[in-house]
Amino acid sequence: MIDLAFDKRWRDLLKQMETRFGMPLDLNGVIFLIGVQELGQHARDFKKDEKVNLMHVAISVLLTPYGYYRELGRDADGWPHFERVKDLPSLNPKEQERLMKEAILSYFEEH
């Protein structure tokens, strides 16, 4: 089933991001930016392993309201750490994408 209202909300968010950052973003680009925002440090070039960690931070933040993760606090370098509270459901790639998009839309409505 196609959810036109949901698709429009997602496209509108991507347009806002493109306007703000001067380039088109995809789902992974938005997740990365959320990770950078949640880290709360100045913008800089991140090493490859830091980029992976930023994606993990963002996914953890996005899935916390759904009860999958809980924030434990920050380490000495200011990086947030999480623990998985419950297992994620078995989702196919389309369902995973939908869950992440819903979580991102909720995140930007609250921030």
Give me the DSSP letters along 11-75: HHHHHHHHHHHSS---HHHHHHHHHHHHHTPPP-PPPHHHHHHHHHHHHHHHHGGGTSEEEEEE-
The pLDDT, as a whole number, for residue 69 is: 98
Amino acid 41: pLDDT: 86
Residue showing tokens 């459901």 = 89
Query: Domain residues for 38?
Result: 4-110
Residue 43, pLDDT score: 75
Consecutive 10-residue averages of pLDDT for the chain (111 residues): 89 96 95 95 89 97 97 96 95 96 96 86
Q: How many domains does the chain have?
A: 1
- Structure-token pair, residue 72: 């434990």
Output the pLDDT for position 1: 64
pLDDT for the residue numbered 53: 96
